[in-house]
Amino acid sequence: MDKPYLREIFKPALENPVFVQGLPGFGNVGRIAAHLLTKFCSAKPFAELYSPYFPDYVSVSSKGICLLPKYEFYFAPMEKNNLVIMTGDIQPSFDDVVAHYHVCSEIVDFIEKLGCHFVITLGGVPMLEDKPQVYVAATSPRLAAEFMEKGAVIYSKGRIVGGTGLTLALAKEQGMEGVCLLGSTPGFKADRGAGFLVFKFLMKVLGKEIKEGL
């Protein structure tokens, strides 16, 4: 394999789709939030992305089967918008800038072909604060203000590393709008609380109130 490879399992019937991405990172917040979203929506996997830019190891299943690292795309029908949810257990090495650009460009090209018009990336941001909080960065001041009115805090004068920030920025360059939702976390270990907070906020934005823990 010398270039990224997309394997489509089936072609979902998409109408006005919104793309949601959650990958590992600080506190594994994005990955946890995306996993909760796929479970809550009973999302179905429809495509897989493999790439030589992913880490050079395989995962081994409980049955001893070797599996290549991959990103998985899920389809979930919603009342107002269909969701295309992408998640995975890995990212390219944070030291390999070119790899991140290649992989994120492949993602953006694919979701553009699917007709996605809005992008939401999920992640964590290291914050040593007592109050759990969801931060937002957006592709426009208007969107940032809208999400601030929904309860998020503007994430300003910082950096968003890896695919969480880069996918959104590249999507903006191709004419899509979107936001990045970041859950505050100490970032030292998997933070299920921060992941659930981001998931709960996202569902509120999508018109589905989540009142209890899962």
Average of pLDDT values for 130-153? 94
Q: Does any domain span residue 108?
A: yes
Q: Does any domain span residue 135?
A: yes
> Domain range spanning residue 163?
5-205
Number of domains in the chain: 1
For residue 9, the model assigns a pLDDT of: 95
pLDDT band at 203 (very low <50, low <70, confident <90, very high): very high
Q: Does any domain span residue 69?
A: yes
Is 1's pLDDT higher than 80?
A: no
pLDDT band at 213 (very low <50, low <70, confident <90, very high): low
Q: Which of the two residues, 180 and 213, has the higher pLDDT score?
A: 180
Average pLDDT, the chain: 92
For residue 210, the model assigns a pLDDT of: 61
pLDDT in tens, 12-54: 988 889 999 999 999 999 999 999 999 999 999 999 999 999 9
3-class DSSP state for residue 67? strand
Largest CA distance in the chain: 50
Q: Does any domain span residue 211?
A: no
Q: Does any domain span residue 175?
A: yes
Q: Which residues, other chains included, contact 86 with Cβ-Cβ below 8 Å and sequence gap of 6+?
A: 19, 20, 21, 22, 34, 49, 71, 72, 73, 74, 107
Domain of 16, CATH number, reads 3.40.50.10900
Say if residues 167 and 181 touch (Cβ distance below 8 Å): no
For residue 130, the model assigns a pLDDT of: 73
For residue 212, the model assigns a pLDDT of: 58
Q: Does any domain span residue 48?
A: yes
Kindly state the percentage of the chain with pLDDT values over 70.
Answer: 97
Residue pointed to by tokens 């979107």: 178
Q: Does any domain span residue 214?
A: no
Q: Does any domain span residue 103?
A: yes
Helix 163-173 vs helix 97-114: angle between axes, to the nearest 10 degrees? 50
DSSP secondary structure, 4-32, as one string: -EEEES-----SS-EEEEE-S-GGGHHHH
pLDDT in tens, 79-138: 778 999 999 999 998 888 999 999 999 999 999 999 999 999 999 999 877 789 999 999
pLDDT band at 4 (very low <50, low <70, confident <90, very high): confident
Is 76's pLDDT higher than 60?
A: yes
